[in-house]
Structure 1
Amino acid sequence: MKRIFTFLAFLSLLLLFSCKDGSKKDNKVEKTTNTWEVDFFDDFETFNPDNWQDQRIWVNNENHCYVPDNEFGTREVSDGTLKLKVVNIGEKRPCDNMDKHGNQHPDTEYVAGRIASKNRREFIKGKWTARLKLWGNGEPSMFPAWWILGAQNNEPPVQEADENICWPLTGSGEIDIFEHHGDHLANKFTTGAIKSLGECDKADWMNYRTNIDATLNEFHEYSVEWQGSDLVYRLDGKEVYRNVGEGDNYPEPMFAILNYAKITDSPMTGEWVMEVDWVKHEYKK
């Protein structure tokens, strides 16, 4: 009988150590599945049409005309970076940009660059990051931006049958990672979500966004990531803002947009430049 109890005690100890070892392995797997993996990266050695397309659109009463193919130097790729510009060409010219209601932009002397990964690179949640800087900031009318938009958005170009959802409803939601409002925010950028009010073209622009101090003339990494139900905004990897619970309101695939806009009639000379080193998307493995 004593031998039987000794054998059972040995089996119990063996089972205990096996469980402990298995627990360690489970923890290791859990840690591995919590790391970011890159599934899209563009370092702008060239302009890659598999990643981006020029987006020619009239929104927000913008004062310029978006032009394609680096016309007037508005979308230049050189020395390993993308330069998006607003340029004063000195005289008004016709503009073929249309809004989603079919209205055509009036003649203008300002031209600009805007690219989108629409129907090229679209992802559900994860983490979007761009490394960029501005050449100058704080001038009236400046409005450069780095942001993401729901892939079923019904604004031009409409290329797929399901691109029929009005901003900012689900499927056409907007998250602004970096915006610079030059009229009143020198050395600051705005970040945050656009809250849908449940109707076409109805949104809360204010309560889910904030302004962050930054040296905009130097390169920084600007990102947004889904962390559980939250949207977390980071500057050079450091959290600077959080939309608590808002991440669940963006379940749709989203594409990236980089653009430099001019939003008022304030005059400008020369050119305004946003320089982009790279863009990437990551997911949790």
Structure 2
Amino acid sequence: MRSNRILLAFGLVLALSCKSGEKKEENTEVAAVEIWETDFEDDFETINPENWQDQRIWVNNEKQCYVPDGQYGTREVSNGTLKLKVVNVGEARPCDNLDKHGEQHPDTPYMAGRICSKNRKEFVKGKWTARLRLHGNGQPSMFPAWWLLGARNNESPVQEPDETVCWPLTGSGEIDIFEHHGDVKKDHFTTGAIKSEGECDKGDWWSYRKDFPATLDDYHEYSVEWEGSDLVYRLDGEEVYRNEGEGDNYPEPMFAILNFAKITDNPITGEWVMEVDWVKHESRK
């Protein structure tokens, strides 16, 4: 009996040891997946021209005019955050924004800020994150966004010879990390990829995107990361959505865009501000 007990005890120790070894190996694998290296971060002590440039363009039949250099208070940095705004200047004024076909935006009283990292900070895959909040969320016509676009996009500003690819083809693909449609509801944001239909200017806006609740006037971290072949969208580090198998459709370098647009004729009430604490890109080691 004593020898049987010894054998049983030895067997139990061996089993626990093997189980412990398996768990340790499993934990090591998980830790390796989660190790990220920051290769770009901007905490907006200023507008760094090595990271960002103003982007002046007319898209989606939007009602605002994007202006440079923070004119009319549309873009400013103070107290360590970036503020992008839509401002009603009280009277319709000329706008020099052009659409991709060269048509000029009509006169408008609404001025706004938009910056992009095009030809400044562009990365293949990895993880993009911004910490931001809104002031006055849920008002009709509001359309702030934090998103990515392929670096060969042929829309303004065209600055390099390879910027010849039409949206949303590969090279000009779009991923929306955070969008708020004030006309729809308060305290909700939309996230997801744009499905390319394989032809210039033909994209499906709805199939790969979904709407999620969040208290938008509080700071949150909004991110997208490539996980294998998937695109994973996170709110404050927690997965909220996944475009399965879509990550392989975005092999190109991509740049980041932060903007605040106005999409209908509803009047502005209060102050429309998207306040950004920081932006960063990370790559897996």
Query: Would the TM-score normalized by the shorter structure come out above 0.5?
Result: yes
1:92·1:109 contact (CA, 8 Å) conserved in 2? yes
Amino acid at match of 1:190: T
Quick check: 1:279 aligned with 2:283?
no
Q: 1:30 to 1:211 in 2, by over 3 A?
A: closer
Q: How many residues align?
A: 261
1:88·1:269 contact (CA, 8 Å) conserved in 2? no
1:88·1:270 contact (CA, 8 Å) conserved in 2? no
Corresponding residue of 2:112: 112
2:131·2:221 contact (CA, 8 Å) conserved in 1? yes
Corresponding residue of 1:264: 264
The CA deviation string for residues 5-33 of structure 1, in whole angstroms up to 9 with x for no partner, is xxxxxxxxxxxxxxxxxxx99x9699557
Q: Distance in 2 between matches of 1:107 and 1:277?
A: 32
Corresponding residue of 1:67: 67
2:74·2:85 contact (CA, 8 Å) conserved in 1? yes
Q: Distance in 2 between matches of 1:267 and 1:216?
A: 20
Amino acid at match of 1:248: D
Amino acid at match of 1:279: V
1:87·1:270 contact (CA, 8 Å) conserved in 2? no
Residue 207 of structure 1 deviates from its aligned partner by 1.1
- 1:84-163 matches, within 5 Å, as 84-163=84-163
Corresponding residue of 2:3: none
2:89·2:111 contact (CA, 8 Å) conserved in 1? yes
Q: Distance in 2 between matches of 1:215 and 1:97?
A: 33
Corresponding residue of 2:83: 83
Amino acid at match of 2:150: G
Q: Distance in 2 between matches of 1:139 and 1:31?
A: 42
Amino acid at match of 1:212: F
Amino acid at match of 1:168: P
Worse-matched range after superposition: 73-82 or 266-275: 266-275
Corresponding residue of 2:54: 54
Q: Distance in 1 between matches of 2:167 and 2:265?
A: 25
Corresponding residue of 1:249: 249
The CA deviation string for residues 159-180 of structure 1, in whole angstroms up to 9 with x for no partner, is 0000000000000000000000
2:230·2:243 contact (CA, 8 Å) conserved in 1? yes
Partner-residue secondary structure (3-state), 2:254:
strand
Partner-residue secondary structure (3-state), 1:157:
coil
TM-score (normalizing by structure 1): 0.89
Gapped runs of 5+ residues in structure 2? Answer: 1-23
Query: Which 4+ stretches in 1 moved above 3 angstroms?
Result: 27-34
2:136·2:271 contact (CA, 8 Å) conserved in 1? no
Residue 271 of structure 1 deviates from its aligned partner by 3.1
Q: Distance in 1 between matches of 2:122 and 2:208?
A: 23
Amino acid at match of 1:240: V
Partner-residue secondary structure (3-state), 2:171:
coil
Q: 1:35 to 1:145 in 2, by over 3 A?
A: same
TM-score (normalizing by structure 2): 0.89
2:135·2:271 contact (CA, 8 Å) conserved in 1? no
Identity %: 77
Partner-residue secondary structure (3-state), 1:133:
strand
Corresponding residue of 1:214: 214
Partner-residue secondary structure (3-state), 2:118:
coil
Residue 184 of structure 1 deviates from its aligned partner by 1.1
2:86·2:111 contact (CA, 8 Å) conserved in 1? yes
1:85·1:113 contact (CA, 8 Å) conserved in 2? yes
2:73·2:85 contact (CA, 8 Å) conserved in 1? yes
The CA deviation string for residues 22-55 of structure 1, in whole angstroms up to 9 with x for no partner, is xx99x96995575110000000001100000000
Gapped runs of 5+ residues in structure 1? Answer: 1-23
Residue 270 of structure 1 deviates from its aligned partner by 4.5
Q: Distance in 2 between matches of 1:223 and 1:108?
A: 33
Worse-matched range after superposition: 31-40 or 212-221: 31-40
Q: Distance in 1 between matches of 2:271 and 2:134?
A: 12
